[in-house]
Amino acid sequence: MTVAARLSAARNIYIGDGHQLEPCSPCTRLSSPALVWARSIVGTLLCARAVTVASLITMFRAHPTLNEQPKKCFYIESLIGGNKERDRCLLLDIIRFPRHRTLFAFVDVEESSVNSASHSHSNVAEIRVCRTLVGFLLNAGIGTESIFIITFYKEQHRQLEEYARSVGVGLSIAEAT
């Protein structure tokens, strides 16, 4: 909504990654339509000369509580933040989460998705990073009731089920395909 309010002359605003949400077509990936013509809507718009493309980057200084976990897990308390609390533009000041104390971690993982036999996606690198991050959180003393994994694809969910069950953390899916 904030983006739409700032771009009042725009008729449509598409926000997304050109590599995600590729088209569904009833042909094989090696057929001519899939190789030559089929593209995601964002991919098509990125190539159109009549469409203005702007990269929107907003940086938020993290909430102090969010900074504590990487300090404990990855830097073994050796990382010292230079910003005073009053100087931070907190994400929690801008976005209201249902539960104020719920913390989120967004980790950018290089694209390496593959399709499964069921036509769902999975990304081995994301699974590995997820397992590593959960391990760090558990080793830092975070309780299993405070850790929850959300995946967007059935296949990725399937591949994480046994791991999540074995370490006692929650797992759910926000289905995309």
pLDDT digits 0-9 by tens, 98-111: 555 656 656 667 76
Query: Does residue 177 register a pLDDT over 60?
Result: no
Q: Where are the alpha helices (DSSP H) in the chain?
A: 2-6, 32, 41-47, 64-73, 91-94, 124-139, 154-167
Kindly list the domain boundaries of the chain, sorted by start residue: 2-47, 64-173
Write out pLDDT tens, residues 34-45: 555 555 555 666
pTM score, whole prediction: 0.43
In this predicted structure, what is the pLDDT of residue 21?
45
pLDDT exceeds cutoff 90 at 164? yes
CA gap 73, 50 in Å, rounded: 47
69: exposed, middle or buried (Cβ count in 10 Å: 0-12, 13-18, 19+): middle
* Residue 152 backbone phi and psi in degrees, to 5: -100, -5
- Higher pLDDT among residues 69 and 58, named by residue: 69
Band (119; pLDDT cuts 50, 70, 90): low
Cα-based torsion angle of the residue sequence 138, 144, 149, 155 in order, rounded to the nearest 10 degrees: 90
| 57-66, 128-137, 160-169, range with greatest mean pLDDT | 160-169
Per-residue confidence (pLDDT) for residue 163, from 0 to 100: 96
Quick one: which H or E segment has residue 82? none
3-state SS of 154-174?
Answer: HHHHHHHHHHHHHHCCEEEEC
DSSP 116-143: -TTS-EE-HHHHHHHHHHHHHHHHTT--
Q: Which amino acid is at 5?
A: A
